[in-house]
A = this chain, B = another copy of it.
Amino acid sequence: MENTNYTKFKNYMQSVADLKYASAVLQWDQETYMPVKGAAYRGRQITTLATLAHQQMTDPILEEMVTILLADHSLSEREMTNVSRTNEDIIRSKKLPSSFVKEQADVINICFHSWVKAREQNDFQIFEPHLQKLIALKRREAAYLGFEKHPYDALMNDYDKGLTTEIVDTVFEDLKPALRRLIEQANNSDIDDSLLRQHFDKDAQWQLGIDFLKEIHYDFEAGRQDISAHPFTTNFSAQDVRVTTRINENDFTSMLWSCIHEGGHALYEQGLPADAYGLPMGEYCSLSIHESQSRLWENCIGRSLAFWKKNYNKIQTAFPDQFLNLPLEDFYAMINKVAPSLVRTEADELTYHFHVIIRYEIEKTLIAGEAEAKDIPAMWSAAYKNYLGVEVPSDAMGCLQDIHWSHGSFGYFATYSIGSLYAAQLWSTIQNQYKDLEEEITKYGTESIWNWLKEHIYKYGRQFTSEELCRKATGEGLNSEYFIKYAEKKWGLVDG
């Protein structure tokens, strides 16, 4: 029988979760179905829920419950995980004075609107003073949170506990020369993929997206797909995990891989322990691991030849005019074209990392106080020239392209690349564990992979750090060699 104190704690946490998930429903609605005038009061509704949830999470009552339970040796391992992760959250949130949290929320609000305007008008100057304020606040936040070596570590820690500049620097320094070599050797940027940019009927694309979500075992009884301006995944419990997509009638790739990417995120959320609703065991490990799940499905699987041997006919049936005469091999080459570009979200698997490295390096410099907001456009252009050999024609296509900074999400970008590296490492482990995996995927699909992920990733919730989970699942900590080997094999530089 459950410990009474633990039951009290669980009930409390689950009530807080009700508020957080209610807020998530309101945000989902805001991005999908809300009529325009609904915005007038939706913002305050979301803020009220968030404020209440925050009050409850920082209420001394919770801290007291947690303190008692931390000393309670009768708890199970799962129970103790829930208590100790919650304790970490409390300690963290207590470090930030509520006046600071309020001040930051206000600056972010203004900053976001100035970013929207700046991007529309292609004018970084509009954004710059507000961003500068936010950067100053982020430096203060790092100081409040505390760090051992680099203030940026404090911010990254929020997205991936234990991730430090020391780790990321090492990984990225290893990765950079390998990426340069791989991009040069891939040498397929002259592939004509204009076939993918013909007209593709909206409804047929929509249906295809649904079919592919089903193909990768997304559970439509515990979720749904809708349209939004920017694709995202959200959840209101492990049994209601929703994805969104967008459809570009002149770009087939946009919808399809966004579906598979969000589907990868959603499989993770649907696979988290449903009975740990509102508790850390029911939460994802870290943003890096979350991203590893989306990238594993999007790239390792969703851009593999085996997957398309099974599924290319779906595309040919949906779009016979465009694909019936295109051999699978040509399609496969097109979807794996490597070419430097300006926009992160449209980048291929290899150049993508440079987009992330650029943002990471700029952020680190900003938080360290070695550069200011006004320096960003020049840093951005220099970095794109240096790493990708491209000229940045405008701030809109440059440092204004991402929403993250306007939201105050400093410390987030690295998780995109780190997640991708984890994906390759997990993928290598899966390939080693299943004999003839490619043949199996071609014949039967991806069920074994999904089952492996349930068993080695999903079920652990937030029990471990990314590094611990990776070690448990693959036998070693993060190692970028797996990604390099994966890429070498894919782009034909070594024998498969």
Contact = CB atoms under 8 A, between A and B. Distances in A.
A238 to B, nearest CB: 9
A49 interface: yes
Contacts of A312: none
A488 B19 CA distance: 54
Nearest to A226: B33
Contact of A236 (B19, B41, B49, B242): B41
B35 A18 contact: no
A40 interface: yes
Given A40-B237, A41-B240, A237-B40, A49 B35 contact: no
A25 B29 contact: yes
B236 A35 contact: no
A149 interface: no
Secondary structure at the A interface, as helix, strand, loop or mixed, is: helix
Contact of A33 (B21, B45, B224): B224
A222 to B, nearest CB: 4
Nearest to A29: B25
A236 B45 contact: yes
A42 interface: yes
B38 A239 contact: yes
A34, A45, A219 — most chain B CB neighbours (10 Å): A45
B35 A240 contact: yes
Contacts of A65: none
Interface in A6-25: 14-15, 18-19, 21-23, 25
Contacts of A48: 15, 18-19, 22
Nearest to A220: B35
28 contacts: A15-B48, A18-B45, A18-B47, A19-B48, A19-B52, A22-B25, A22-B26, A25-B26, A33-B226, A34-B240, A35-B222, A35-B223, A35-B224, A35-B239, A35-B242, A37-B219, A37-B221, A37-B239, A37-B240, A38-B236, A38-B240, A40-B239, A40-B240, A41-B236, A41-B277, A42-B236, A45-B236, A52-B52
